[in-house]
Amino acid sequence: QMVNYAPFTLLPSAVPKALFEQAYAVQQDFNLLVDAVSQNREFLERTLASTIKVDDFTARLFRIYTQVLEEGLAQSVFLGINRSDYMIDCAVDGTPALKQIEINTIAASFGGLTSRTPAVHRQVLKVLGKTEEASRLVTNNPSQGLALGIAKAWELYGSQSAVVMFLVERVQRNIFDQRCVENELWNRNIRVIRRRFRDVFEKGSLDDARRLYIDGQEVAVVYYREGYVPQNYDPQNWEARLLLERSRAVKCPDIATQLAGTKKVQQELTRPGMLERLLPGRAASVARIRETFTGLYSLDLGEEGDKVAAKAIAAPDHFVLKPQREGGGNNLYGEELRHVLEKIKDSPERTSYILMDKIKPQPSKNYLLRPHSPLKVSECISELGIFGVYVRQGKEMVMNKAAGHLLRTKAIEHADGGVAAGVAVLDTPYLV
């Protein structure tokens, strides 16, 4: 076993204050939207119908979703922890605009580690004699906000002796990020256990009221920090996932909310009138959300999809081709995009992807510090994430918050990839 430091930038990166505030201001709207989608069976069925014919992973999730609904939900408290990610697009006319990359509704990470970067960057700026600038770096503690959401869900579940279970990876690469949230819960006298799907398969059970037990302990909240990629599952793990979803325990997220975070859903949300239908009577929320959208296009079979595919093949550098995957490193760009799309343009396989306008941020120089890597200056671009937390009991929203932010920065030569993928590093926004 090896412990490494999490990679980070030497210097904080400039972020326009107005766009930073815009990202915070729209987070409660996105919380409402994700929650609305997760409760809308008709929308999810229609939206994912073409995808699940060709994408086995989404299909398996969808099957659990349907199965749980048919049986009837035992869960009555819902907890969402998401992270909406943005880049700042520099349009042809030069006005920077906040554009959403995606929203992560499962295992959205780095809320813990990023709580520590302002202190690091403050120190660096002081060493450089920039005391004034150092004092302007904003404090940020998402792990506290995430823990408050988990604590609220635990409380509403209503059993003092029940625990919170972090569902974690077999190889625990990001344990310290998770511990930050965990410690906040222990500080509130809430017991936390860490288990893998395998443990659930071997030792998990439901009682008559579908209360979840593991090792003799009742579980109030299941916080998934895994389960978002096909590699997380073998047949036993799928069985464990089904057991968890059937249970009364508060899943963060429940399977419906995981599906609400798919790229296919993101693309369908941009259709005219869609937001209005999902968030009736909330014109201001709809407007704030739509402001952050860039072009997203369906590749479903048919005339619309044919046109989209042809457009992308003709100008691949203007687009990103995305499969229904998470965790970085799956998207296609440029020549590779053209090549793949040419190959699949007449086959149903095409519908497992969506197409997105490529966002083009203004690069700036920074040093990316990571273990075993030489110190050199890089041209970089950044991605801003805002953490959202909400709790719903039955039909009533009892918490809806923005819980902090994450800035990740990467060298421009990498089109794709996050921190876990070894491409991006942790950063702190310097508001300008």
Binding-site residues for ATP, please? Answer: 102, 263, 322-331, 333, 356-359, 383, 410, 416
Task: Give the residue among 287, 285, 254, 345 at the shortest CA–CA distance from 44.
Answer: 254
- CB-based burial label for 396 (10 Å; 0-12, 13-18, 19+): exposed
Catalytic site residue from 31, 83, 184, 268: 83
Which of 182, 245, 268, 326 is catalytic? The answer is: 326
Q: Is 418 among the residues that bind ligand ADP (CB under 6 A)?
A: yes
Nearer Cβ to ligand ADP (384/402): 384
Residues in the chain: 432
57-116 residues near ligand ADP, rule: CB under 6 A: 85, 101-102
Of 13, 38, 104, 143, which residue is the catalytic one? 104
Do residues 324 and 57 touch, judged by C-beta distance below 8 A?
yes
Active site residue 322: yes
User: Which residues are annotated binding-site positions?
Assistant: 83, 102, 104, 106-109, 172-174, 178, 225-228, 263, 322-331, 333, 356-359, 383, 408, 410, 416, 419-420
Q: Nearer to ligand ADP by C-beta: 225 or 358?
A: 358
Any idea what the Cα angle at residue 207 is, between residues 204 and 210, rounded to 5°?
90
Helix extents (H) in 280-357: 283-291, 303-314, 334-344
Our finding on whether 34 is near ligand ADP (CB under 6 A) is no
> What does the alpha-carbon distance between residue 403 and residue 61 come to, in Å, rounded to a whole number?
28
What single DSSP character describes residue 402? E
Q: Are 195 and 170 in contact (CB under 8 A)?
A: no
How many residues touch ligand ADP under the rule CB under 6 A: the total is 18
Span 174-203, contacts to ligand ADP by CB under 6 A: none
Instruction: Say if strands 217-224 and 163-167 run parallel, antiparallel, or are unpaired.
Output: parallel
Give residues 267-306 in contact with ligand ADP (rule: CB under 6 A). Answer: none
**Which residue among 13, 31, 50, 102 is the active-site one?**
102
Active site residue 152: no
Distances (CA, A) of 389 to 148, 395, 424: 9, 16, 24
Least distance (Å) between residue 327 CB and ligand ADP: 5
Is 148 one of the binding residues for ligand ADP (CB under 6 A)?
Answer: no
Closest separation in Å from C-beta 74 to ligand ADP = 30
Q: Enumerate helices (H) and strands (E) in the chain, giving the number of each.
A: 16, 19
Report in angstroms how near the CB of residue 366 gets to ligand ADP at its nearest.
15
The residue among 219 and 320 lying less far from ligand ADP, judged by its C-beta, is: 320
**d(C-alpha 294, C-alpha 311), whole Å:** 16
Q: Which listed residue (16, 327, 334, 422) binds ligand ADP by CB under 6 A?
A: 327
251 is catalytic: no
- Residues 172-182 as b/e (b if ≥16 CB within 10 A, e otherwise) read eebbebbbbbb
In sequence order, the β-bridge partners of residue 250 are 221
Stretch that binds ligand ADP, among 151-159, 210-218, 334-342, 352-360 (CB under 6 A): 352-360
Q: Which strand (E) or helix (H) includes residue 131? A: helix 131-135
Tokens 């699949």 correspond to what residue? 344
Q: With respect to ligand ADP, which residue has the nearer C-beta, 29 or 383?
A: 383
Scanning the structure block, which residue is given the tokens 């932010």?
A: 405
Instruction: Return the closest-CA partner of residue 45 out of 71, 68, 63.
Output: 63
Packing angle between helix 27-38 and helix 283-291, nearest 10 degrees?
A: 110
Minimum Å gap between C-beta 28 and ligand ADP is 21
Q: For ligand ADP, which residue of 33, 356, 380, 384 counts as binding (CB under 6 A)?
A: 356
102 is catalytic: yes
**Member of 133, 416, 422, 431 binding ligand ADP (CB under 6 A):** 416
Contact characters 376-415, ligand ADP, x per CB under 6 A = -------x--------------------------------
Among 116, 358, 392, 405, binds ligand ADP (CB under 6 A): 358
Alpha-carbon torsion (286, 289, 295, 298), positive or negative: negative
How many C-alpha atoms does 409 have within 13 Å on its Cβ side?
30
263 is catalytic: yes
Beta bridge partners, 56, equal none
Known active-site residue 109? yes
- 239 carries an active-site annotation: no
Q: Which of residues 306-325 bind ligand ADP (CB under 6 A)?
A: 320, 322, 325
Q: Site residues (CB under 6 A) for ligand ADP?
A: 85, 101-102, 320, 322, 325-328, 330-331, 356-359, 383, 416, 418
Catalytic residues: 83, 102, 104, 109, 263, 322, 326-327, 408
